[in-house]
Amino acid sequence: MTNQLELRVAAREQLTEDIVGLTLESVTGGLLPEWQPGAHIELSLNPCVDAGGNGGDNTLIRHYSLCSDPANRQYWQIAVLKEENGRGGSLFIHNAVREGDVVRVSEPRNNFPFVPRRKCLFIAGGIGITPILPMIRQAEAEGVDWRLVYLARERSRLAFLEQLAGHDPERVRLNGDKEDGFIDLPALLSGCDAHTSVYSCGPQRLLDSLEDLAAKQSEWSLHIERFSAGPVDASGGAFDVVINSTGQRYHIPEGQSILNVLREAGVKVPTSCGNGVCGTCETGVLAGVPDHRDSILSPEEREENAYMMLCVSRALSPEIVLDL
């Protein structure tokens, strides 16, 4: 990560049985950088950095959406779902991070910007409520006609209900699959028109269903953020990667990612998700044509070929030069 900050855990709150909320503040008491709804931060974990800035060698980088008020720069808030079968980051936060600890954090970056139309439908699945909360604040402030549908397997897994309780109950629909049955997405979206933006974050199955429905209509616009993606596609011909700063050349065979080859060779590249959804390994492209396979870049950004995600993307040209 670049532009790292050292932040103190000012408060820790158990929001549900498996979701913990952290409030982060500057160790110096200063204002935190500005951010916009949809932004996330990346935490360096395992172990936490102590007040002297000392850390360990086996650092995990994990990204979490900011869910506090962008207007309040005294602190940031995130919420973390405990994933027993995850890759270790959430378990470390739940089991080891305590109030008063100091963590190393990136400045915010936004792969899920909020640009509303006249009307907005928010669909949040589980922990996917986190980037949606600041969007609701902005929509409310700008007088946008908005609605929220908040889904979870059980109602007990729904967090931030106190914040949502202050809104018109006609705007907020809570749905636990166990208590209320599965949501009928086609029926839910049938009332959306060309003036409606649909923003959604949540599990892969939900987002895949929304993309399928969006492909069958031409009116409402869909904007999603994924926490995970499907299996990484490493197929495609071999190619070479050149590191611009050193001139070193590395061969990327079929079946292996750029990221894995470079890290095995000792080239340090920050990474988190490993499947093209977080943007941590985004790297500048100085020459060559990337084969973009991420879930972040827009069609316009892909055409520019200025950046690529090394964890999943490959090359359409025999050689690609990276700004490393």
Report pLDDT for 181: 93
Over residues 93-127, the pLDDT tens digits come to: 999 999 999 999 999 999 899 998 899 999 999 99
Residue 49: burial class (beta carbons within 10 Å; 0-12, 13-18, 19+)? buried
In CATH terms, the fold of domain 119-226 is Rossmann fold (3.40.50)
Instruction: Report the CATH superfamily, name and number, of domain 239-322.
Output: Beta-grasp domain (3.10.20.30)
With b meaning 16 or more CB within 10 Å and e meaning fewer, what string describes 75-95?
bbbbbbbbeeeeeebbbbbbe
In CATH terms, the fold of domain 5-105 is Elongation Factor Tu (Ef-tu); domain 3 (2.40.30)
Residues 124 and 200: beta-carbon distance below 8 Å: yes
How many other C-beta atoms are found inside a 10 Å radius of the C-beta of residue 110? 17
Contacts of residue 260, defined as CB under 8 A and 6 or more positions apart, other chains included, come to: none
> In the chain, which segments carry CATH 2.40.30.10?
5-105
The DSSP secondary-structure symbol of 240 reads: E
Contacts of residue 169, defined as CB under 8 A and 6 or more positions apart, other chains included, come to: none
Report pLDDT for 58: 58
Task: Tokens for 180, please give them.
Answer: 């209320």
Over residues 5-46, the pLDDT tens digits come to: 999 999 999 999 999 999 999 999 899 999 999 999 999 886
> In the chain, which segments carry CATH 3.40.50.80?
119-226
pLDDT in tens, the chain (324 residues): 457 899 999 999 999 999 999 999 999 989 999 999 999 999 988 644 443 444 444 577 888 999 999 999 999 999 999 987 666 788 889 999 999 999 999 999 998 999 988 999 999 999 999 999 999 999 999 999 999 999 999 999 999 999 998 888 889 999 999 999 999 999 999 989 999 999 999 998 999 999 999 988 878 999 999 876 555 666 788 999 999 999 999 999 988 899 989 988 988 887 777 777 777 888 999 999 999 988 788 778 888 899 999 988 999 999 999 999
> In the chain, which segments carry CATH 3.10.20.30?
239-322
